[in-house]
Structure 1
């Protein structure tokens, strides 16, 4: 888990807990939000599962921007959210490698050149769950199971790939579309018919003795044209029909 400050110190602040696949997109969205409203954001980035556990333990987060619907639904059902979660985007899974001689294909994963395949922990990270589902759907999971190396989130998985500790790995399309990584290595979008659509949800977190005015503004901004354009630029789909058209 790591922290990102949106802007300089300001009087009005909110804390946004965001799934690791949103690391780059949420920074741009929050910067645009602060520019428009003057409300600063503290960003907490980690796996959706870990953020959920922290919320249940009383972490002072105002908004939870998850990588799936399961975790924000759990937060709501247990009484920690103001309202049920709403889908803000659909994520896409890619294979990514910084090695020039690595084949970006499912068949290539069994190549002896590949000793480590990075993916996020499927127990806490939705993109890790999607990667395992993809491998099982392709009937290659048992062939490569011994090569799998798990990061606690997509962020740590990316570190495995960019440091070349893993020859190849599964990550979010939003990561390879970011300006920080788009010129690093090679990536291939995976056939979405082999994993469940990654519907990503957001909820407002209940905070005792605290108004939700500023966090509601951020929530609404996430569904604005400006934020949607940013999400699209990072490779997210905004409608399930878009996702299904790729299946």
Structure 2
């Protein structure tokens, strides 16, 4: 689903309410969205409490938090954005790393036996999808890989930037581009599994994609403070860890 439409719908819902949602609102980086759906079900089963998920790129979600979006927990695709929020007083607790992600090169029609970063510089690939590195940590990692392998100048004009990893996945899975970079968690998701072929990129070619979450500040009188804290701690539970592992996170 188009991420901008999701947020617009969320904004309209909030505008039509006389009071903020009673549900815990979790701002979720796009690469974690499928994991979060499973965690959402497990958390509800264990506690009886529901969460509402808002999906977007880490950079755009951070901008919305700066502008006062009514989020309770932020699950980012990196450590930089949560750390920025903490330093600016948006949380009473430092962010904690919940997982390390894996970058993949993914193509709809290129066989796995032929798929490699080297093929990106050939005539077989005319367009390469990359999450926007200004907003998405996986996009930043992809550019690091291309530069490390001396492929950036050869492929720069082929790059098509998606506003989030979800939009980039749409470009790849529909064949709008010949190949692209994405998160392992996306290609392992039920919605994307078996749609094309992928290879995992050697992580020595980019900085580790360490992903952190942060509990956003509430007033002591906030009725959601206790529930939000409970969910935040649930992210680091053994049950949640098993779900993260299922989607290829380390």
TM-score normalised over the length of structure 2: 0.89
Which of residues 241, 245, 249 is equivalent to 1:228? 241
Write the mapping of 1:135-154 to structure 2, written as runs, cut at 5 A: 135-154=146-165
Which of residues 166, 181, 185 is equivalent to 1:174? 185
Which of residues 5, 28, 42 is equivalent to 2:38? 28
Question: What is the alpha-carbon distance in structure 2 between the residues aligned to residue 216 and residue 59 of structure 1?
Answer: 18
Structure 1 residue 235, shift from structure 2 partner: 0.1
Tell me the alpha carbon deviations over residues 25-72 of structure 1, each in whole angstroms, 9 at most, x when there is no partner. Answer: 111111111111111111000000000000000000000000000000
Write the mapping of 1:94-243 to structure 2, written as runs, cut at 5 A: 94-100=104-110, 103-208=114-219, 209-211=221-223, 212-237=225-250
Write the mapping of 1:45-56 to structure 2, written as runs, cut at 5 A: 45-56=55-66
CA contact (8 A) 2:105 2:117 kept: no
CA contact (8 A) 2:131 2:161 kept: yes
Of residues 195-204 and 96-105 in structure 1, the stretch that sits farther from structure 2 once superposed is 96-105
Structure 1 residue 153, shift from structure 2 partner: 0.5
Question: What is the alpha-carbon distance in structure 2 between the residues aligned to residue 168 and residue 100 of structure 1?
Answer: 8
Number of aligned positions between the proteins = 232
Question: What is the alpha-carbon distance in structure 1 between the residues aligned to residue 26 and residue 85 of structure 2?
Answer: 15
CA RMSD of aligned residues (A): 1.6
Structure 1 residue 82, shift from structure 2 partner: 2.4
Unaligned 5+ runs, structure 1: 6-10, 238-247
Unaligned 5+ runs, structure 2: 11-20
Tell me the alpha carbon deviations over residues 96-136 of structure 1, each in whole angstroms, 9 at most, x when there is no partner. Answer: 11114583101100121211100100001000000001111
Structure 1 residue 12, shift from structure 2 partner: 5.2
Which of residues 75, 86, 109 is equivalent to 1:76? 86
TM-score normalised over the length of structure 1: 0.90
